[in-house]
Structure 1
């Protein structure tokens, strides 16, 4: 019999600024997450489409991204496909658009502690 690998939650980080994306990824990896990084909402949507097993527990996305789709549009798509997904939208500007129910908004600059707290909350809310 092979050994089973313990479940590790996955976080999807969608940010077009590589330094911010890397910082969030490092923080989440230290919180026992596997991390998938995307710089566009279109790439993230493909990840979510393939996540039929529900491994992705946390999505953190900037509003302004590379590509045509915004982070707000991605948040709506993510909520539609994965209603239990913990979704955070972040921006350095005031948010003019409505977010899907249950979605959190972080104004930049956020702190590393914000990321760590959200990582813990997403894992506590997970049925696994």
Structure 2
């Protein structure tokens, strides 16, 4: 009989810069998370509609492809899953209010920050599965 692979926590990464998106995804995957990636808020909203309740983390830039920005996406994500860890990042100051419980990281942020946050979310997620 084959061994089943344990289900891992899943993060959604939304970034229109392919190199930045790839780097974030690699960091999260190295932290034992599954990752869904999108370049636009509209694509991410579809993911949230379909899988929002199962996501533990969203990391999004403010500037995105499409018509929705990352702050608007953070509000959408919190409506689908109020307990999701949401991180919004930008190199410029925010002009819109973030939803409660959302973290803002000003660019440049350290890759270690992503790893720490992912490990914290993975640990919390795995503890929920044990309860």
The TM-score, its normalising length taken from structure 1, stands at 0.93
CA distance in 1, matches of 2:3, 2:29: 22
- 4+ aligned runs moved over 6 Å, structure 1: none
C-alpha RMSD of the superposition? 1.4
1:5 positional shift: 3.0
1:96 positional shift: 1.6
Unmatched runs of 5 consecutive residues or more in structure 1: none
Aligned to 2:118: 119
SS in 2 for 1:29: helix
Aligned to 1:38: 38
Aligned to 1:47: 47
SS in 2 for 1:22: helix
1:2 positional shift: 6.8
SS in 2 for 1:51: helix
CA distance in 1, matches of 2:117, 2:42: 24
Aligned to 2:65: 66
Unmatched runs of 5 consecutive residues or more in structure 2: none
Higher helix share: 2
Question: How many residue pairs are counted as aligned between the two chains?
Answer: 127
CA distance in 2, matches of 1:18, 1:75: 20
Aligned to 2:79: 80
